[in-house]
Amino acid sequence: MADVRSMCAIGLRGQLGLRGGLPWEGRKEPEFSADVARFFALTRGHVLLVGPATKSSIPAFAYADRTVVGIRSGDDPASVIAAFPDRVVYVGGGPAVWKSYAPLIQHWDITRLPYDGEADRWFDPAWLTAA
């Protein structure tokens, strides 16, 4: 069975996204740079299941040392994950993806960043206890 995890960063009020990207995209402060580096370090060698917008934002270098799989809203989450037995599988891609996959996620790794600005996508704490 796969070890299913999710890793995300949220702003001070739970902000996740803005216009299809990260609300803090391009910020150079150490906390933001460290979060991106940590994401790529921890997902190295593992499977990364992502929605279309997230997949389009993954840099080319990341494909060399992780298995990146695009997922769609019509996919059955259990079937997608079953394709990767005995692997660590990270689920990413925003609210629609997390709402569908939350009942299967065994470990949430959430970083709170010092961002308190605009957003149009928000983290839902109910995902943490979905069954």
Distance CA 100, CA 93 (A): 11
| pLDDT digit string, tens, across residues 16-67 | 999 988 999 999 999 999 999 999 999 999 999 999 988 998 999 999 999 9
Domain extents in the chain: 3-129
Under CATH, which number does the domain 3-129 receive? Answer: 3.40.430.10
Beta bridge partners of 111: 9
| pLDDT digit string, tens, across residues 81-131 | 999 999 999 999 889 999 999 999 999 999 999 999 999 999 999 999 997
Q: What's the pTM value of the predicted model, to 2 decimals?
A: 0.93
